[in-house]
Amino acid sequence: MAELHGQSAAEILAGVSRETRDRLAIYEAELRRWQKVKNLVGPSTLGEIWDRHFADSLQLADLADGEVWADLGSGAGFPGLVIAIARPNTQVHLVESDSRKCAFLRHVARATGAPAKVWEGRIEAVLPRLDPVPQVVTARALASLDELLELAAPLLSNGTTGLFPKGRDHLSELTKAAESWIFEADAIPSAVDSGGRILRIRRFGGRLVSRPTDPS
């Protein structure tokens, strides 16, 4: 698949099919309706749903191949539910512990026909139940990279590719994570945040094993 870095948010949105755009319009309408009582996203971002949330999520859709994806801490569905809408032949597992957000995710998945399955529960309890193992795992605004590697380790250890959008502190997060974990990372420029990067994690080797010091 062609990678999207270098494109703007407008170009990403212009590149989706009419069917995908129509489903995203349903998503937007339901998000605005539920937001009035559920507070699913930051109120200040409601006016930027297409750029701030949809385009930001869509830019991940072509950065890895796989028929099964998992999205950790899905919240209001970014990026996992958007990816499911954009990739109708991909099964996306949405993992979320908040029951109210799970209800919203299920509702929008039904309304849009998105191939998404919602798992209500803690990440560490849900991941062992995913079969087959997802080929791609995503998470947006959930935790630091170091913490994400800890949470996603059961998948990454089996060859799953990680796609984690990060902001301007991505270099410091990479440096800190490299002190504890073995992995390779591509830092792909974000189409939405000029200083941000999508960290694509591959060849995950687990935790670094510290060597005992020589007493001599």
Best CA proximity match to 86, nearest among 137, 27, 42: 27
**174 backbone φψ class: left, alpha, beta (φ>0; ψ -120 to 50):** alpha
Res 3: pLDDT: 43
Cα separation, 209 vs 132, in Å, equals: 29
Write the burial class of residue 190 (CB in 10 Å: 0-12 exposed, 13-18 middle, 19+ buried). Answer: buried
At 188-216, the pLDDT tens digits run 999 888 899 999 999 999 999 765 555 54
Q: Which pLDDT value is given to residue 212?
A: 52
Spans of the chain, pLDDT less than 70? 1-7, 210-216
Q: Identify the pLDDT of residue 6.
A: 53
| CA distance linking residue 164 with residue 151, whole number of Å | 12
pLDDT at 215: 56
Q: What is this structure's pTM?
A: 0.91
Q: Are 104 and 38 in contact (CB under 8 A)?
A: yes
Residue ranges and CATH numbers for the domains of the chain are: 9-205 (3.40.50.150)
Which residue in the block uniquely carries the two structure tokens 């509702």? 107
